[in-house]
Structure 1
């Protein structure tokens, strides 16, 4: 099978961990960009990347590049591709366009022009034409225009890869699965210890933590990928790739626990964990974190997504002070990480973070912060080190 270039899209701040994921999977020529990483592999690797990457939102397969400064040159460029290699006249397609250009102002106009070029090509060759289907197309085409550079790619994934397929029930402000996986990987979580999400909501961080710990492919529960409708879809090869990934699943010898004080959240989280077939690894209890103490021996790895006050009405100052007090009083020998878009509220935690990483939660600029809680006092720890 021949190799080709692909592009994995991701969130700001995850480029480095996505590049590392790709290298571990066996990608060639891995190069980081902004919110994306390019790499080279064959068709089997394209299937593997969609199944296994935790921090990718989409995998695109570029098929053509050209220059365009007006609608005529755009139409001509798109007409220069032999679309019968990718589509038949009785199939459906859709075009997603992003534009950063003075020559083209509106992405919808670009999509329309490109659609015309594709449809006209089929009509002149066969007398019939493929139609547009925005919801369930047979082919998703991605057009990206940067100044006068047009790149045309096929979307191998379809719906964003954060839609893993296990989450059926959600709360008011659920965290995106790719964001959850990226936070866990940035925090250094590798399954070699106990894990706690003390404000687990609908259980997304717990599910992603369990899949990382056991090396279960991120998108194993997903119903479909766009490449399954392609002309060159190879079902046997896909099954082979799934089998090879499942052979790498590993044992997990610690605990993964989730707390939430809302009974409805606990029920939803349990449903989602069961749906992901992860209930043998994860236990969820109805508890208010602020009334708890560390329940396990040895080091504890904690990652959570506390409310920001954006969609949930809470008293910020007191809430964040409680986080700091609970960690200080009840959680020795713990690495506690959480994400917040309420950067002001971090002042009230009353602890100095040892790391701060800039991320985005949706459109909100956020910080992923780390607090290291030592066994005994910090002074005593450093005195022993001397």
Structure 2
């Protein structure tokens, strides 16, 4: 049976983007019922929603009364996603109002519910909206953080609807593995590959695309976590619901991760951090001459994962809180497990995800295989599959360690 999705559409200008979200659901084999608000129909009409979904569309509880839509739609759903979710709609949902078909559906749904807010920055930051968001999250609703960008008119700021593909990725993750242990948890994920400047043009880097780290961030959002993603040189759309901090070098990544980890429950170091950086960085482009080039001398970068492990050990001895769970990643080309075991002991993390890298392996590919080494348990083998699947298994293992 096709997964049954209810797409609620709030009355904001971003309603037109929900058409793309609907297309993503229907083309991937989901059975979608669109339930707009009355105001949403002022932006996108019934005919559009009906044509795209293949189903009759209404905002009223009085249409097709014999089918009891105000109860049945919610009861039969596997997922309800509201995009855009306006400040007014979230306020009504938080207070249990039921004055149209969508709010009735939200009251009767017993499946996972996702809200993708879209509004002006001042509305998102207002105390009333923040309280309503907190109430919804306490009830298990996934309210993704809005994106930063161009809003209605000339305004720019936080409040933009995340891209439909990113909302779809969160929803797909929830349908694959709803809930599961991260609701309300603060999670930090690093992703991508650092770059160490040689001069203003050249750098020392690596092949990491950030795909695995982004999959981890999306999966954490889907499980209800508050996610900070520290992204190093990644050309990917921001995961819906994650706060993204962009960095370039290992030093910048260290600063961002240590700052975010101060109040985190889980830190996952999935970024590929350069082990070395040039001792000196030329202030102008190094020119090619007939002479042999000057050698580039390197110095070690800080070991961020080992530092996190050491700081955690010291703070726990002093009774101060620090991440409950620390997860590292190790990319190896040979002696994979032996090198991984040595790193697990040296880094002080709880889990170490070890994967073999090389041509068409791990870096830049949509799939991955790994062995998760566990500080106080047996290794867990993860067969090759989508990076989203690996992310889900990692979070399952993390959830069992959270107190």
TM-score (norm 1): 0.27
Structure possessing the higher relative contact order (Cα contacts under 8 Å, 6 or more residues apart) = 1
Compute the TM-score of the two structures, normalised by the length of structure 2. Answer: 0.26
